[in-house]
Amino acid sequence: MEQAVNLISIILVWGVFLAVFYFILVIPQKREAKRRQEMLDSLKVGDKIVTKGGLIGQIVAINKQKKTIQVAFAKGVVFEMLLEGVAYPLKD
């Protein structure tokens, strides 16, 4: 009987631990991933962005199928980059 009580208490402690872990780490991470995907989906031609490398440029073309964008960083300087390389859009 005592072993059954110990087993139940161990299972309860692990259950509480996993629940806390889920609510503290997993849910906020999912929320942030959803917010980031919505931000990337809302980008359009003409938006100014900051890349993860810290470069500032303006979107000149978007290829949704390949998940790439073309960004102009200076007059005549256009790079193609992955959409995931966008850190955030700049507000004018």
Whether 51 and 89 map to the same domain: the answer is: yes
Does this model's pTM top 0.85? no
Residues 20 and 57 in one domain: no
Per residue in 41-60, pLDDT (tens digit) is: 999 999 999 999 999 999 99
Instruction: Output the pLDDT for position 28.
Output: 94
Instruction: Supply the range of the domain harboring residue 37.
Output: 1-42
Helix or strand run (H / E) with residue 78: strand 77-82
pLDDT grade for 1, boundaries at 50, 70 and 90 = low
Number of structural domains the chain divides into: 2
**Are 8 and 37 in the same domain?**
yes
Query: Does residue 67 carry a pLDDT above 90?
Result: yes
Residues 37 and 50 in one domain: no
- Euclidean distance between CA atoms 42 and 37, whole angstroms: 9
- Distance (Å) of CA 8 to CA 1, 12, 16, 22, 85: 11, 6, 12, 21, 48
Distance in Å from the first CA to the final CA of the chain: 69
Read off the CATH number of the domain in which 82 is found: 2.30.30.140
